[in-house]
Structure 1
């Protein structure tokens, strides 16, 4: 009897142990949910996981502390619409239908949301779309029209346009959480894209954060007063200098009447329209709060006599107060979403990504905006959390790019990656497995002639060097030794001591262009088509 009892207990324990092991295997192999959070123009310098000198972002930092921070993440074309198209398709701009912000995304092509949807995922997007065509491949979508608005934003939906009351970053997060809440009992995995408008120009801050940086002296970058002597026409002629091209009205919030009385003229005609448009979207209560903060700023400017470098420094301070102010809301709302995942138990089997559609200049080289292949524009933040797969607090220093996101999500979901996707899955890097990874990145920017006057260019980057070719109305080559010149102040292309490096990089550039299907012939064909389009639109 005793032996029979012992046998029964042993069998019971064995069954229980096997059941537990089976459950663990099932949990580990269960397809993960995916939440892809992308802000707009969020510079890596403005995330404290990367740099603590400008802002503290504890909630975004959580993803770095609990997952992996990528220190060498880059884009393939530093401008809003093209970057979004690259992310969706895993293809470079010359293959995905969107080279610049005038192009319309071909929504009939294959994207990773469509592939996931066909594989049994529920797919959704809320927030900024900025691709002109209607979103496809999503079971649920509510997106901002074009750039969207910070206050009382409109949203495009399958049933038409709707208007929401409040601040856009809060509302996008509300919609994301509401979507997750409605599908609580759903068994199928989900992929949710949360696309924030902030911190895109004109940097309109939530009412509760209007004074977040008002009394703080923002650290100036060492290159704020760059004279561009070490570079060619491309850097010298770009129209995104804080000193000359940043608007006093729409950007730094000076009233048009005060600006005019001081003798300043707007660089662009639409600056005043943008300023008044943003003010008109405020409620009476919001306008009163706005005036409490910006009224004294306008009065101080009215009574000042700012010129030259003093004016540039003032505009930089005002720019950064508002830019960073919008990011306080982004960080808070990332925290809200992460807290929701924790509270509902979703965090355990959900990949959470935080990135931006590109980098941004925060006064470096005297600039705002992006577009260039220079570091602050080209590089983007990227943090990924995936419990059980990514070691908490890990840091990756490989060269990764936004063409890699789509194949990464597909592999994580156990779905076959299409052969025409040009990126590589980041999963081996996330799981810290040995892999034969790339040693160089390819970049190509097309939007010229266009706003900000950044000339067309393509190039490659290795860990140490960067080779760039500017073309169209110039034919200039630039070479930077990032180890000796991290600020990219001195072009060493004609320096004899870099002759061997230059030869190697030219060959590597040739090889990468062939690998990605780009060429001088294709570039010229696209250029002709673009110029014809600009002529038809009366923009050239």
Structure 2
């Protein structure tokens, strides 16, 4: 008792110093709740078609808002640039050769680890709405309402958790957003949630919402600098089948004198919408095409203009619906503790090299759109230039939710980056491996390495060739400098790095193909 009395004045003094003259005890800091998570996943939406990435023409104010109020990732890469494999990478945090989903025609192995299941086990409600494209529904989802395969733009069918198939009237982007908001309204409000909003837009054949037809018809889009690429010194690039000139079809892709009896999406339209669609493409655009009587380069460039106009018009509804979802979060107060991510499943060619589609390790399909908003955690206007991968997405969301990332996940959390913490050990190299051949675009399988300055690619499966690009001096990837004698030492160093990544990521097949073992 004497001991206690002796130190009472000191205790009182410390209390006053810490709390002020009122003598009140400071309230303990409240632990941040597990964040809600919304992952908006679009299809084939090119980063270079987004305002936040520098496009001055595309109307993407709501996507740009996510970047402005959060973090914009300038070097986000997909390691197998194609729809299904990209989604499998998101779910598993693993490379395609590890999760087994290397090609679109594969069937997802539902016995393997998927991160939504771990969220579910830690109190999250989980849902996936829209496009999944894996032929199997992974574990870990409380609710799903999915497009069969690629789905349709107009009056699409959906398969739900009860295995019921329903045709829903309307435009697919509107429906997916409306269904997502309905799920948010009906969920258990006492639990955090994880929701994937899997949009179909902007997948081929680029069918805009009726209200967006002609939205960019007043624009004359500048041709990319390498639109007339001759593919010199790049055999695989020369033998692909994805050019705007030869591969893009007038009647189906661009809707010029389409065979309307066989046009599945058109025949799903009804009444006034069908009339408006027909009037626009047949009575306006097809008539314009007939009057011009185009051939040669003039025809190719006209096709490019039509491609860009339909593609960006299709993206208009994507952005508009993201705005609706953000507005719902604002109005309900959910925005404060909800992580919102916008990402595309991979990059896409907007005429670069004369192409549309993706697949190649060249920059426009390797790099993808990725941005993340987390109020109170990510400082608005943050820009991340570090190399990040699709494999990092699952690790990041588990980390943000306070859940330990399993050792089998091959990605790492980007949370330290978005919090502004220095990461001197962060990756300086990216490993890529693409498999799907020969259909549908005759892009030879290949793997490779990207560093800050260089890109080394090895094609195989019929064309056994190496390519090397100096991205600093040749950002358009037009000059294959692999065979230059002055680069012998550089090639050796890059091959050594490539081998190390193959070993790190356990790509034994690639090691064998490359002759590294």
TM over 0.5: yes
**8 Å contact kept, 2:499–2:511:** no
Distance 1:523 1:292, change over 3 A: farther
Distance 1:341 1:518, change over 3 A: same
Q: CA-atom RMSD, angstroms?
A: 1.9
SS at match of 1:252: coil
| 1:452-506 Cα shifts (integer Å, max 9, x gaps) | 0000000010111100000010110000000000000000101223222212111
Instruction: Give 1:189's match in structure 2, choosing from 188, 192, 197.
Output: 192
SS at match of 1:194: strand
**8 Å contact kept, 2:114–2:138:** no
Quote the offset at 1:55 in angstroms. 0.7
Alignment of 1:89-108 (within 5 A): 89-108=92-111
Quote the offset at 1:11 in angstroms. 11
Quote the offset at 1:162 in angstroms. 1.1
Distance across 2 between alignment mates of 1:136 and 1:322: 36
Quote the offset at 1:305 in angstroms. 1.9
Quote the offset at 1:521 in angstroms. 6.6
**8 Å contact kept, 1:31–1:189:** yes
2:121 matched to which residue of 1? 118
1:314 matched to which residue of 2? 302
SS at match of 1:303: helix
Quote the offset at 1:349 in angstroms. 0.8
Alignment of 1:397-412 (within 5 A): 397-412=385-400
Distance 1:117 1:522, change over 3 A: farther
2:211 matched to which residue of 1? 208
SS at match of 1:133: coil
Structure 1: runs of 5+ lacking an equivalent:
1-6, 258-271, 525-540
Distance across 1 between alignment mates of 2:113 and 2:155: 33
Alignment of 1:228-307 (within 5 A): 228-229=231-232, 231-256=233-258, 276-294=263-281, 295-307=283-295
SS at match of 2:396: helix
SS at match of 1:408: helix
1:421 matched to which residue of 2? 409
Distance across 2 between alignment mates of 1:411 and 1:346: 20
SS at match of 1:124: strand
**8 Å contact kept, 1:35–1:193:** yes
Quote the offset at 1:249 in angstroms. 1.1
**8 Å contact kept, 1:147–1:197:** yes
1:83 matched to which residue of 2? 86
What's the TM-score, normalizing by structure 2?
Answer: 0.92
Distance across 1 between alignment mates of 2:118 and 2:467: 40
Alignment of 1:56-67 (within 5 A): 56-67=59-70
Distance across 2 between alignment mates of 1:278 and 1:121: 36
Quote the offset at 1:292 in angstroms. 2.6
2:421 matched to which residue of 1? 433
Distance across 2 between alignment mates of 1:454 and 1:521: 17
Distance across 2 between alignment mates of 1:305 and 1:441: 46
Match status 1:513 vs 2:502: yes
**8 Å contact kept, 1:80–1:130:** yes
Distance across 1 between alignment mates of 2:487 and 2:139: 48
1:225 matched to which residue of 2? 228
| 1:125-179 Cα shifts (integer Å, max 9, x gaps) | 1110100012421111101000000000111112211111000001100011111
SS at match of 1:36: strand
Instruction: Give 1:68's match in structure 2, choosing from 68, 71, 81.
Output: 71
SS at match of 1:18: coil
Quote the offset at 1:333 in angstroms. 0.6
| 1:269-302 Cα shifts (integer Å, max 9, x gaps) | xxx88x6112101112111111232121111212
1:461 matched to which residue of 2? 450
**8 Å contact kept, 1:135–1:141:** no
2:384 matched to which residue of 1? 396
Instruction: Give 2:465's match in structure 1, choosing from 456, 464, 476.
Output: 476
Distance across 1 between alignment mates of 2:202 and 2:21: 58
1:18 matched to which residue of 2? 26
SS at match of 2:433: strand
Distance across 2 between alignment mates of 1:308 and 1:34: 50
1:267 matched to which residue of 2? none
Distance across 1 between alignment mates of 2:437 and 2:512: 13
Distance across 2 between alignment mates of 1:428 and 1:101: 33
SS at match of 2:499: helix
Distance across 2 between alignment mates of 1:412 and 1:138: 19
1:180 matched to which residue of 2? 184
Quote the offset at 1:14 in angstroms. 5.8
1:357 matched to which residue of 2? 345
What's the TM-score, normalizing by structure 1?
Answer: 0.89
SS at match of 2:457: strand
SS at match of 2:263: helix
Distance across 2 between alignment mates of 1:128 and 1:278: 16
Distance across 2 between alignment mates of 1:423 and 1:522: 20
**8 Å contact kept, 1:362–1:368:** yes
**8 Å contact kept, 1:45–1:54:** no
Distance 1:210 1:235, change over 3 A: same
**8 Å contact kept, 1:91–1:403:** yes
1:263 matched to which residue of 2? none
Match status 1:443 vs 2:432: yes
Quote the offset at 1:523 in angstroms. 6.6
Distance across 2 between alignment mates of 1:453 and 1:506: 26
